[in-house]
């Protein structure tokens, strides 16, 4: 018969190892946790993205260089074509800017300008108009000069023949040798404004006109 006052038996505690002795490992140990590959995947993903961006930047730079080179080539072609066209365009302008060649001197040159009437003793008053004439012989032959070979046309359109010996400075009657010139006045009757003088080399020669300056 058991003693009612007997205490229940305490479970036996495992014997603690003595100091200095390593603990006995348990018969089963959980395997070490496996390293997750998610970090590696994330790392490789970031590197791949960076590499892709670098590659895209290189490709864009190459394309930009090609475009710029093409543009520069195009501009060079345009410039060269423009330069090729410029001389053709400038030729008319240069021709226009070049001074025109002087026309050959006429065989007989006549110049006329206004002059003050200087009445001679044969003049009947002062109702006359005189023009100073200069005749230059540029030909190889002798030229006949005579006051009767001249006529004066005024601004009113009226043609007046020369009045002989009424002006003291009247042009002389001479045979003008090649290279020579002579000056003198030709006078018309009345007061008028002279416009031009007509000279005829001889009776049957061709008329030559000179404006009065």
Domain that holds residue 169: 108-211
Confidence of residue 131 (pLDDT cuts 50, 70, 90): very high
Assess if residue 31 is contained within a domain: no
In a domain, 20, yes or no: no
Rounded Cα distance, 73 and 63, in Å: 15
C-alpha to C-alpha distances, 78 to 3, 28, 83, 117, nearest whole angstrom:
124, 87, 8, 71
Residue 23 lies in a domain: no
**Same domain for 207 and 129?**
yes
Cα dihedral across residues 166, 168, 169, 175: positive or negative: positive
8 domain residue, yes or no: no
Give the distance, in angstroms, between the CA of residue 34 and the centroid of all CA atoms in the same chain: 82
- Split into its structural domains, the chain has a count of 2
Q: Is residue 80 part of a domain?
A: yes
Q: Based on the fold, state whether residues 86 and 122 are members of the same structural domain.
A: no
- What average pLDDT score do residues 80-96 get? 55
Domain endpoint, select from 73, 101, 129: 101
pTM of the model: 0.53
| pLDDT above 70: residue 56 | yes
176 shares a domain with 136? yes
Q: Is residue 154 domain-shared with residue 187, that is, in the same domain?
A: yes
Mean pLDDT, the chain, whole residue set: 76
Residues 207, 112 within the same domain: yes
The 10s digit of each residue's pLDDT in 2-37 is 455 554 555 555 555 555 555 555 555 556 555 555
Q: Rounded to whole angstroms, how far apart are CA atoms 131 and 121?
A: 19
Examine the domain organization and report whether 204 and 115 are in the same domain.
Answer: yes
Mark whether 85 and 159 lie in a shared domain: no
The reply to whether 73 and 132 lie within a common domain is: no
What is the arithmetic mean of pLDDT over 99-113? Answer: 80
Rounded CA separation 129/186 (Å): 8
């Amino acid at each position: 018969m058991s003693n009612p006052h007997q205490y229940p038996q305490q479970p036996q505690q495992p014997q603690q190892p003595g100091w200095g002795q390593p603990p006995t490992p348990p018969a089963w140990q959980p395997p070490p946790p496996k390293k997750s590959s998610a970090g590696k995947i994330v790392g490789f993903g970031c590197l791949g993205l960076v590499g892709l961006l670098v590659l895209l930047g290189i490709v864009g730079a190459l394309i930009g260089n090609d475009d710029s080179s093409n543009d520069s080539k195009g501009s060079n072609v345009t410039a060269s074509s423009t330069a090729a066209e410029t001389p053709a365009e400038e030729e008319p302008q240069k021709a226009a800017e070049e001074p025109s060649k002087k026309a050959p001197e006429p065989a007989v040159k006549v110049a006329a300008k206004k002059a003050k009437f200087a009445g001679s003793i044969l003049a009947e008053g002062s109702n006359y108009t005189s023009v100073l004439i200069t005749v230059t012989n540029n030909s190889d032959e002798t030229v006949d000069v005579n006051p009767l070979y001249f006529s004066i046309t005024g601004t009113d359109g009226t043609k007046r023949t020369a009045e002989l010996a009424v002006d003291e400075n009247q042009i002389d009657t001479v045979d003008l040798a090649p290279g020579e010139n002579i000056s003198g006045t030709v006078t018309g009757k009345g007061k008028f404004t002279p416009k031009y003088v007509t000279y005829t080399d001889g009776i049957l020669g061709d008329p030559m006109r000179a404006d009065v300056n």
